[in-house]
Amino acid sequence: MKSSVFFKMLLSAALTVCLSVSAVGCGNSHQSSDSADTSDDRSASSAIESADNGAAESKPIEVVVDTSSAPESNSEKPESSAGEAESKTDKPESNTDNTESIADDTESKADEPESTVDDTEIRTDDTENSTDESSDQNKANQKESNGNIVVMLDPGHDDDESCSRRDQPQLGVNEQDLNLKIGLACYERLSEYEGITPYLTRSDGSCPNADKMFSGEYNCIEKRAYLAEQKDADFFVSLHCNATTGELGAQANGISVFITNYPEFHDECEKLGNMIIDHVTGAVDLESLGLFSEYKEEKGYYKDGTVKDKLFLLSYNVDNDRPAIVVEHAFMDNINDNAILRDDEKLRLIGQADADAIAEYYGLELK
């Protein structure tokens, strides 16, 4: 019996030791799990500190967040033509009245319909779809993609009073109508040449700034220069007719061309201006008055310190790093010139002469 009791005592001691060992093992397992969680927390903490102390490019999330606080200049209308390119993404839609004569700028130039005066499918600048940034980039790259020279033709004035409408009933002509007829003829002729893509700031009597994109004192002129900027034009050529007294019988007569005072563009404007004068005087009976350059200190200075041109049609384009000229074809109040301007066939010849001069300037050949 004693041995039986002794055996029970040994068995009880063994069970106590086993339970103690088992308890110690469970405790170590739990401690190991806590250590792993703590290690993960430290790793996460270190990663956050590393990101906080790292360079900006290592935090793409913060970069995305920062875009919401970017300057809002692109959503505002530029105050001067020098900053016009920055407002492309938020330009208001163009006047829907103009859509019949505007090619769709969302397509490439290769897809544009052939432009003729008869079907009025004239290339003008359509700002309607310009809120699409990719579309804007396509337009900016068009010249590079097809290698063509781009020229913006600007028939001066229009039927809107805010654009200095030039009705001359006492002379039997309206300047805006004469300018448009010359511009359309010039456009049609240029379209017959290889390697050039002409555009018009307007193809009818409507104002280029009908969408009221610009609201300053010279808003219409600023818009015309802006259209050239949109098409990345190589040259801006504004087409006009002149007058002095406004009464038939004025002595002044002939064609003249106004060129920029800005040295970087002066020589090329002088060259094209002289070519236009030579072609026009060879096509119709007009005298040559030569080239003119006027400046106005009150307007300020170009980036090189040169006094700005008096004519905003020139200065707005120069501010956009673009050569520009203003062609005054003839005097509406001179008897000889007036007779020429009242003849549609001679207006067509003048427009063609302008185009042939531009083509000669660039060394282009007919298709």
Per-residue pLDDT tens over the stretch 307-321: 999 999 999 999 999
pLDDT exceeds 60 at position 90: no
32 with 150, same domain: the answer is: no
Q: What are 15's two structure tokens?
A: 């069970």
Residue 84 confidence (pLDDT): 34
In a domain, 77, yes or no: no
Give φ, ψ of 152 to 5 degrees: -95, 115
In one letter, which amino acid is 296?
Answer: K
CA distance 81 to 221: 10
Tell whether 172 and 249 lie within a shared domain.
yes
Is there a single domain that holds both residue 44 and residue 189? no
340 lies in a domain? Answer: yes
Range of the domain at 29: 2-64
Domain boundary residue, one of 64, 84, 115: 64
Q: Taking residues 149-165, report their average pLDDT.
A: 92
Is the domain of 101 the same as that of 29?
no
Task: Report the 3 state secondary structure along the chain.
Answer: CHHHHHHHHHHHHHHHHHHHHHHHHHHHHHHHHHHHHHHHHHHHHHHHHHHHHCCHHHCHHHHHHHHHHCCCHHHCCCCCHHHHHHHHHHCCCCCHHHHHHCCCCCCCHHHCCCCCCCCCCCCECCCCCCCCHHHHHHHHHHHHHHCCEEEEEEECCCCCHHHCCCEEHHHCEEHHHHHHHHHHHHHHHHCCECCEEEEECCCCCCCCCCCCCCCCCCHHHHHHHHHHHHCCCCEEEEEEEECCCCCCCCCCCCEEEEECCCHHHHHHHHHHHHHHHHHHHHHCCCCEEEEECCECHHHCECCCCCECECCHHHHHHHHCCCCEEEEEEEECCCHHHHHHHCCHHHHHHHHHHHHHHHHHHHCCCEC
Say yes or no: 152 and 276 in one domain.
Answer: yes
Whole-number Å distance between alpha carbons of 239 and 54: 59
Kindly state whether residue 83 falls inside one of the protein's structural domains.
Answer: no
Instruction: Quote the number of domains for the chain.
Output: 2
**Residues 6+ away with beta carbon under 8 Å from 64:** none
Express as a percent the part of the chain with pLDDT over 90: 57
Residue 163 confidence (pLDDT): 76
Residue at 178 is within a domain = yes
Is 289 in contact with 254 (CB distance < 8 Å)?
yes
Q: Is 81 a member of any domain?
A: no
Which of 81-85, 131-135, 185-189 comes out lowest in average pLDDT? 81-85
Residue type, 170: Q
Any bridge partners for residue 347, and if so which?
none
Same domain for 150 and 52, yes or no, is no
217 vs 180, residue with greater confidence: 180
Check whether residue 147 and residue 296 sit in a common domain. Answer: yes
Q: Which residue has the higher pLDDT, 65 or 39?
A: 39
Q: For residue 88, is it within any domain?
A: no
Q: What would you report as the CA-atom Rg of the chain, rounded to the nearest whole angstrom?
A: 37
Tell me: do 122 and 216 sit in the same domain.
yes
pLDDT of residue 125: 54
pLDDT at 286 over 90: yes
The identity of residue 25, as a single letter, is: G
Pair 144, 289 in one domain: yes
Average pLDDT over residues 189-207: 97
Where residue 269 falls (left for φ over 0; alpha for ψ -120 to 50; beta otherwise) is: alpha
Q: Is residue 244 part of a domain?
A: yes
Confidence (pTM)? 0.65
Give the HSE-up count for residue 110: Cα atoms under 13 Å, Cβ half-sphere: 6
Same domain, 50 and 175: no
- Residues of the chain with pLDDT > 70: what percent? 60
Select the more confidently predicted residue: 210 or 128. Answer: 210
Residue 119 placed within a domain:
yes
Residues 60 and 127 in one domain: no
Report whether pLDDT(213) > 90. yes
What 102-105 contacts at long range (C-beta under 8 Å, 24+ apart), as own/partner pairs, is 102/126, 102/128, 102/203, 104/129, 105/129, 105/130, 105/135, 105/139
> What CATH number is associated with residue 116?
3.40.630.40
Q: Which two tokens stand for residue 115?
A: 């432009």
Structural contact between residues 211 and 160, judged by C-beta atoms closer than 8 angstroms: no
Phi/psi at 256 (nearest 5 deg)?
Answer: -140, 160
Q: What is the mean pLDDT of the chain?
A: 73
Same domain as 49, residue 181: no
CA–CA dist 152, 125 (Å, integer)? 9
Rounded CA gap, 318 and 96, in Å?
30
